[in-house]
Structure 1
Amino acid sequence: MHDLRALRADPAGFDAALARRGLSPVAGDLVRRDEERRAALQALQEQQAQRKVLAKEIGQGKKTGQDTTSLEQKAVELRDHIAALEASAAQIENDISGVLASLPNRLDETVPEGRDEESNQVVHQWGEVPVFDFEPKQHFELGEQLGLMDFPTAAKLSGARFTVLRGALARLERALGQFMLDTHTQEFGYSETIVPLLVNDAAMYGTDKLPKFAEDSFQTTDGRWLIPTAEVPLTASVAGEILDAKMLPLRMTALSSCFRSEAGSAGRDVRGMLRQHQFSKVELVSVTTPEASADEHERMTRCAESILERLNIPYRRMLLCAGDTGFGAARTFDLEGWLPGQKAWREISSCSNTRDFQARRMNARYRTENGPAFVHTLNGSGLAVGRTLIAVMENGQTAEGAIEIPAALQPYMGGLTRIG
């Protein structure tokens, strides 16, 4: 959500920020509507004051036996006028709020220009891209060959974009989640949390998933939502709170199932488990002060990168351009892991600083010497478990179709060093 006062102070700057995302100017209309709202409120206050004076006159007239019929008629007219002003002011406020809720976050100045992922910038790259003396397979070819990745049964149970993992691959996915959680909690100071997988409208709205992304999520018959990411309940846990500054930064993590409708992705990544309706992810969320959020963004991204490094998965950090930065983010780093089977870099983590965008939507603040101020919230994948499984499989494959297990995961696999 945007600060209307800041918009009024610099409408040209606000429109210029929208233009970076390819959006048309709206500030002039919003300022005009806000002036109408303020005028209606001023008129409302004046007429409420008149009603008090009139009520006093009617009361005094009745005490002295005067005919107050005309005064009472005027009071009825005034009441109706006040009700109309209240309705008008409320409607204008709803209209303004609706427009502001539909507008994306303002981008950080360092975000490069560009319309799509082709303009994203490589910040750095880690690890050597493996060279095989055989043609590397994609993860679904390896998984099906091992008899441990079952798509037909998943389709029979649930339809497309679901996967059944069996045996050692199922254990490997569980091991990845446990390894990520242990690393983030024991070494990086995140607090492990188990969160509800169903949330209400307020939680989705506060974390900028509603109204814009309603079609990307699954809604239950009682009006709740299956979480698209644990970012939603973790971040929304501070909604409506005024936090003690000494508590900040709050760093939380959760391993959860995530659910996405994948609306608009027809025909993309149809084979395998790269793009699923249900998947597991270790989420990282930070709540901090405005002064610390830039450093916290770098710290969070490094936490995610360390997981890839310990698994020996080559990756590159991408600074997303204006056209590819998500709705709620001011600045985003994507981590792309190398998938030898696809011969391509694919996103495996995304770490974003939303600044006070989400905090304003859910009224999350902290105490300062000058009164409550909005916190900054950040979120990132630390990592997407299924996509990390894909990277481990494809980078660790052998000519025989076996999978070498990274040393960091072997303690979680009962000492197993190879699958197949």
Structure 2
Amino acid sequence: MTQLQNKNILLGITGGIAAYKTPDLVRRLREQGAVVRCVMTESAKAFVTPLSLQAVSGFTVSDDLLDPTAEAAMGHIELARWADLILIAPATANTLARITHGFADDLLSTLVLASKAPVCVAPAMNQQMWAATAVQNNVSILHERGIAFIGPESGEQACGDIGYGRMTDPTDIVKALLNEKLPDNGSTASCTWQGKTFVITAGPTREAIDPVRYISNHSSGKMGYALAQAAANAGAKVVLVSGPTQLATPKGVQRIDVETAEQMLTAVQQQLTDCDVFIGCAAVSDYRVEDIAEHKIKKEQNSEPPKLSLVQNPDILKTVAQSANAPFTVGFAAETQNLKENALSKLQRKQLQMIIANDVSEPHQGFNSDQNSALILSKDSEQSLPTMSKHDMAVAIIDAIAKRYFDTSNRS
């Protein structure tokens, strides 16, 4: 028996070309024991017929907010009470906007407002639409409300473009749902990482030279904070160990502020007992000053500049990866040359499960930018992420970790 056995899934189908895949999605859900009823928008009917969905689900398809044949002409209330989960696939840009802003002028949008069931969406749209600021703002709001996202995936689209926006394959949608702990009616949404704990480091560290000066780097902390928010949105408990930044604490995340590499290591080690996944995203200073001056070092006229003696800082990532009962450990490699080769060397040398490599020499991405591109590498896999917002990249990375983590757990 799977956790979808006897679950009432209300499948909302909207007007994207990926709607042609929904009869297969219904069949896959029913194979897992789910009871599936379909709700269609008017535009969805241009891509798939109600009759085909009725044939595979065994129920008449609902498409009318004011259906006189439904329970006292209040079909939306009947369906809203029936659902254990509302799954919208495909979820178009228009649908995401309507849900975000609380529209209730068709059956599907009304059901989202009228039901206490958790909502899960599988977006599908052109890659440029998915990247648009308006769409990403709506996505952020829906994440904050606890709506779970499955995808979108990257690849070739019907229009010929290549990029993020493809609806996740029906088989993978079902796999994602099987990784979730679906609550009973009346519960809030829960997601892929429910019951798991992430410890994530972010931002720079600072190593004092004297009471005024320090050694540091250009890290803004934006990538680590985006990862913390994405993991929290996916249902995880998240502890964020942060170096000095100007960023607000992500919603639902516990934040521990540190300054030096040694302080960061101590804070991380204190959280490892219950840690399932560790992401070392912080830009940790490799060296610190051996003897910190008690007072500000003064510049004397005609004097030689001071000579700083440096000692090596602890390697936080290696320490975590090679600790007893080590969590699933993910590192970052910020490189300026030989990106893949240097990242793979770090992956093997530090015994990591996964590493995210990005070229910080590229203009307008990486440090201090709101965008990034990266390679996700493990010992036997490689995934390329094109330039995208750090929010999108965080979601993609958490998804990639989930695929690897749960696949490894199922094999062990």
**Which TM-score bucket, shorter chain as reference?**
under 0.3
- TM-score, structure 2 normalization: 0.20
- TM-score, structure 1 normalization: 0.19
* Higher RCO structure, 1 or 2 (CA under 8 Å, sep 6+): 1
Q: Relative to total residues, which structure has the larger helix share, 1 or 2?
A: 1
